[in-house]
Structure formats: structure tokens, C-alpha cells
Structure 1
Amino acid sequence: MNDLLEIEGISTGYGDIQALWDVSISVAPGRATVVLGPNGAGKTTALSATMGLLPLWTGRIRWRGRDISGVPPYHRIKQGLALVQEGKRVFKKRTIEENLLIAAYTTVRGRRETRRRIEEQYARFPVLGDRRHKPAATLSGGEQQMLAIAQALIPNPSILILDEPTAGLAPVIVKQLFEAIAALKAEGRGILLVEQVVHQTLQLADDVIVLNVGHVVHRARASEITDASVIEEVYFGARPVIQA
């Protein structure tokens, strides 16, 4: 299966401080590529560069075979990329419905299609539909994360990029979110997921990349990883770098 998204040897950073060195990641339809690593590994930086929020120093990003390295974030969203940033970024004073309408405003044409896509998200996350006229601030942390994912899905992206969506959430909510992400993968969407929850993430993953201090230190098919402790050892440097 051809990759939709190809991140090829990118390096970038902040000001004069380099944060990534020669990082390559690919994502195919209906597959989940998972990026693991400790805090400060460069995971969020890689996602920011992928969405055009951070300029590349070297390398390129290809979407459906076309170089989009210079394409602004808004156009990447219109072409089928969506990012759910860490931190449950929703408009808390706005209602759930208003949050979804805002997500649709510049990306969906026509009231009927807008309504269809919003109802699709209510079906995916029933708690949002049940409370559609309530402010987002009344939702729990996990429910706000569901809303953030629903917002990202309104433009109907081919690839969904998620930055630590389970951070700080209760185990029961973590389970629900992983089930929702698995369902999106089953629909044929590509998933690029940054996480620190190793065991649950490996159950979802097809391809695994471990970053540490801005470098790819391990790359493997998830099916080749029979013991999550292998990845955990790579995290902390107890095992030598492996390149598949």
C-alpha cells in the first residue's frame, strides 16, 4: 500500500537550537504509525513540522507523492491532514455544537453537509451529542479530548495526527480513546500517533518509531515487537539502537 504521508530526512529546531536530526516517518491508509519516546525527544516538534507550524531546515514532506514542504498549515488541512494538539485545545466558553461549527466554518461547504458531518461526530462520540448545547468547559478532560478529536475530523481528513491524546486521563477514558482511534484506522484513515503509553499503543500500532534527543533510535513493525520492555529499554538507553 502506498504511503499517503512521507516525512523524509527532516531536521528542524527553534531559533539556533536544533531539535530534530534526519527524521523519516511514513503513514499509509488504514495503518497506524506510532512515535514513542521520553519527554524532550522531539515528538511534538516532528508533528509541528509535519503540519507546517515549524519550518524545515533540511529534508522534505510529501503528501500523496507531492512535495508540500512549503505549503501553509491551512492548505494542508484542506488537503486531508489534521492535527489534534496536546492539551485538549477546545473553546471552553463555547458550546460543543459551536466548537464543531467553528471547525466546519472554513473547511466544509454548505449547511446540509456541515450538519451531516457534525451528526457523524455525535454518533462517534455520543456524550458530545447528548450535551451539544452545554459549554465545553462542563466536559471532563477525557470528554474535551473527544471534542478536540471530533473537531479535527470535521474536515474528513485522510490522516489524523494526534499528540499524546491520553495525557493525564483516567485509565477508563484512555481505553475509550484508543478504541475510537482504532475505529478511525478501521475506516481506512491513516493515523500518526505520538504517545508515552507503551503497552496500549503497541496494540494499536502497525509501525513503531522511537525518538530520543531528536534522533530516530529504533524503527520496527509492531508485529516484530513481542515484548514492550524492548521499547522501554530503548527509551532509557539500556538497549543499543536498532534500525529495521
Structure 2
Amino acid sequence: MTADHPAPQSSIDRLTDPLLRLDGVTAGYGATTVLRDVNVDVGDGEVVGIVGRNGVGKTTTLRTVMGALTPRSGAVTYDGEDVGDLDPEETVSRGIALVPEERRIFGGLSVRENLELAELGGTDGNRGRGWTIPEVFDTFENLADNERAAGSTLSGGEQQMLAVGRALVSDARTLLLDEPTEGLAPYIVERVVETIETLRNRGMTVLLVEQNVRVALDVCDYVYVMDNGRIVHRSSADALRGDDVLDRYLGVSLAGTE
């Protein structure tokens, strides 16, 4: 590798094969190549993060997993199946759901109506991992308290919870979270962190794209650092805390912090 394209440092050892794998994926838009030979593994029940500056390809990675983009080379596999050629609807039917940065809830519908609509569009339910609407309300009390409120009246954090809840009742096994803390006040960020930890405790598999490095390190088992469309570093979250790679690629230093 050249100095512009350094080889990823550190390795991630797992005892089992990954549930979701991007293997040498190159993808982009039109004549523009965004992802270059991207390799990411996400194990069943893991929370895995991709961190990096704006515009380095993090969201494009999620769009490629969802089928909005078809890899130009490489493969996307899920539960042992090649899903790189599936469209988004077929990807959802496999149990993968995207919670986009802009959330995309229906502001004119109530919280319950948003959840009911998502439930109707879910998978066939044979995976046995889907959440019911009462379970979502039990987990996210703010949503239960605002069951009849219009989505547009919710706070940013509550809208994020509703976006996650919609994905859960669609019978998703794996969630792709795109910048879930973007634009939120610090105390609401804490609620989002609690939400992700709840998902982990319920055995959900999560691929998290996040600019807030501290959030990623707090909730993720493993973290990939992306720069210029390439994975430049991968390690456990704990190992990354003391590594200068964060300063080098993101301008963030966590030395001496807990």
C-alpha cells in the first residue's frame, strides 16, 4: 500500500463466522468511486462501529449493504448468502433494517400508527426475533407516554427512538444505524446510547455509523476507522481508546480519558 492508502492495522479475532460481511467491496455513484476494497465483519449479536470524518464513505457503506448500491467488485454476504445484488425491499425481507440519519418517520401519523405501518411491512415473522409494539413501548417509555402524539411533535431523541422502534417491529435481526446522535443535545445522546445498549442486551446485531467517537467506543464491541473510502484501522473498541489512529484520521485524542 502507498502512504495515501495505508494497510489496515490491527486485527479482529472472532470465534464464529460473521453474520454480515463486506469482502473487498468497491462501490460508488456514476463515475465516482466512493468505497475502495472495504472489508467489514459483523458477528451475530455484536455492535460494530464505523467511524470517520464527513464524506469518507460511511453512509455509502450502509447504502451498499441495503442494496441501494450494487458493489462494482467484492461481495456482501448475510447469514452465508450473497445479498449484493438484492434491492432494498429484498434486503429488508432478509431481516436487515436501516435507520437513516434523517429518521424518515411519518410526522403526520401518531407514534402508534408509525409502528403499525412498519409492522405491516415487516418480514414473514419466521425468524422469531421480531419485537411487538407493546415490547417497543415497554422498552422506550417516552414513546409509550406519547403513543397518540404525532411524530412531528416528538423531540429529536424521541424521533430517533421511534425510527429504531419502526425497524424493530419490522422483524429486523440486524439494524444499520446511520449517525443516530447527529444534531442531538448531550442529554439526549445519552438516551440514544441507552437505546443501543438495550438492543445489545436483546441480542440484536448492529452496524453503527457514527461521527461521535466517544459514543462509538462506549457502545461498540469492534470499531473500523474509515478514511477516503478505505478501512484504515480495525480493532476492539477498548484497544482503540489508547491508539493515536483517532488523532491521525479524525483529529480526536482520548488519551487519559475513561
Q: TM-score higher than 0.5 here? A: yes
Shift of 1:109: 6.4
Residue 109 of structure 2 contacts residue 150 of structure 2 at CA under 8 Å; is this kept in 1? yes
Residue 123 of structure 1 aligns with an amino acid whose one-letter code is: D
Residue 183 of structure 1 aligns with an amino acid whose one-letter code is: T
Cross-structure match for 1:161: 176
Residue 92 of structure 2 contacts residue 123 of structure 2 at CA under 8 Å; is this kept in 1? no
In structure 1, how many angstroms separate the alpha carbons of the residues matched to 2:137 and 2:146? 10
Cross-structure match for 2:21: 6
Residue 246 of structure 2 aligns with an amino acid whose one-letter code is: I
Q: Which stretches of structure 1, 4 residues or longer, exceed 6 Å deviation after superposition? A: none
Among 214, 221, 231, which residue is 1:199 paired with?
214
Shift of 1:234: 2.6
Residue 88 of structure 1 contacts residue 141 of structure 1 at CA under 8 Å; is this kept in 2? no
Task: Answer 1 or 2: which has greater helix percent.
Answer: 1
1:128-139 alignment, distance < 5 Å? 128-139=143-154
Shift of 1:59: 0.7
- The size of the alignment, in residue pairs, is 235
- Cα deviation, 1:92-114, whole Å, max 9, x if unaligned, reads 0111111111111122669xx9x
Matched, 1:219 2:202: no
Identity %: 38
Q: TM-score, normalised by structure 1?
A: 0.90
Q: Secondary structure at the match of 2:132?
A: helix
- Cα deviation, 1:76-124, whole Å, max 9, x if unaligned, reads 21211111001121110111111111111122669xx9xx711111111
Q: TM-score, normalised by structure 2?
A: 0.85
Cross-structure match for 1:241: none
Residue 76 of structure 2 contacts residue 84 of structure 2 at CA under 8 Å; is this kept in 1? yes
Across the aligned residues of Structure 1 and Structure 2, the Cα RMSD in angstroms comes to: 2.1
Residue 218 of structure 1 contacts residue 234 of structure 1 at CA under 8 Å; is this kept in 2? no
- Cα deviation, 1:176-233, whole Å, max 9, x if unaligned, reads 1111101111221111000011112102111111111111111112232232654232
Residue 195 of structure 2 aligns with an amino acid whose one-letter code is: A
In structure 2, how many angstroms separate the alpha carbons of the residues matched to 1:229 and 1:182? 26
Give the unaligned 5+ runs of structure 2: 1-15, 254-258
Cross-structure match for 1:142: 157
